[in-house]
A and B are shown apart, each in its own frame.
Chain A
């Protein structure tokens, strides 16, 4: 596991042809690791008949809503929490 709770991480803004579970709205956004889950088989390869190994670490990452949506109309403290695989994350400032 490369990241720790409280660490700032950025979701990679890359195109991925084929099945993946990183939502478009999150790509390129920066959040904070909230929780370190276990490692899980990779759905991107399991979707095509592979066993999904090696397992990839999974994190619950928290984003300020105002950092995700330019026109966010809720409260300043509202947040969005998403499960993101380590191979979609980079260290951020």
Chain B
């Protein structure tokens, strides 16, 4: 064993609130490093990538699409390329499809089989997205699910639920709120929440943000 093994962050001392899995995965990592199967750097890099991912990146993509119609077209044609244009790393999923909410259509995304999610643009998915009730009811009772999030759609709006069963990741482009014509792109991005890009809520109204 080299001294280099001690250059990585030490995990916290075992904690009474942790499940048994916590000690288990730490022991597993140590075993695998000892066997030369992986390195601590491999794991460190993975953790670094995960914690670097934030919905602010998705919000920038949406805000740009709101202000720039040509960018919007490029985003709808190829989500990964459009994200990279803004310096956002779309992550490992091979295809990112942006779906646009309109006056007549509202989109909502789920992965009924597991937890597929555009982590590159939104960060890790919230627990509720991965939960059994969401995975069950998002497809069979989506309006009921929206109501739980405080969201009601107008009568003539078609609700489209996308079940991410394959390697395509879906990002919702929510509708730009009323009264935002004078906001800067950064101010617009601040209105775009993670949950709006999953499709369970509308973006924040401008009055709600700073003042």
Contacts and interface: CB of A to CB of B under 8 A. Distances in A.
Q: Do chains A and B touch in the complex (CB under 8 A)?
A: yes
Interface of A: 21-23, 25, 37-38, 40, 43, 58, 60, 62, 65, 68-69, 72-75, 77-85
B163 A75 contact: no
A81 B162 contact: yes
A21 B165 contact: yes
Contacts of B162: 81-82
B155 to A, nearest CB: 8
Task: Specify the main secondary structure of chain B where it touches its partner.
Answer: mixed
B142 A74 contact: yes
Contacts, number: 72
B158 A79 contact: yes
A34 to B, nearest CB: 9
A82 B112 CA distance: 10
Contacts of A21: 113, 165-166
B184 to A, nearest CB: 34
Nearest to B157: A75
Contacts of B161: 65, 78-81
Given A21-B113, A23-B113, A77-B158, A37 B168 contact: yes
A69 B138 CA distance: 13
B160 interface: yes
A73 B143 contact: yes
Given A78-B158, A79-B158, A82-B165, 8 more contacts: A23-B112, A68-B139, A73-B141, A73-B143, A73-B144, A74-B159, A75-B143, A83-B165
B143 A85 contact: no
B159 A60 contact: no
B95 interface: yes
A85 B95 contact: no
A74 B143 contact: yes
Contacts of A79: 158-161
Given A74-B143, A79-B158, A60 B163 contact: no
B68 interface: no
Contact of A58 (B113, B159, B166): B166
Contacts of A81: 160-163
A75 B118 CA distance: 28
Given A37-B95, A73-B141, A74-B159, A60 B165 contact: no
B140 A22 contact: no
Contacts of A38: 94-95
Nearest to A79: B160
B115 interface: no
A25 B112 CA distance: 10
Nearest to B139: A80
B85 interface: no
28 contacts: A23-B113, A23-B165, A37-B166, A38-B94, A40-B94, A40-B166, A58-B166, A58-B168, A60-B97, A60-B168, A62-B160, A65-B161, A68-B139, A68-B140, A69-B140, A73-B141, A74-B143, A75-B157, A78-B143, A78-B161, A79-B159, A80-B161, A80-B163, A82-B162, A83-B163, A83-B164, A83-B165, A83-B168
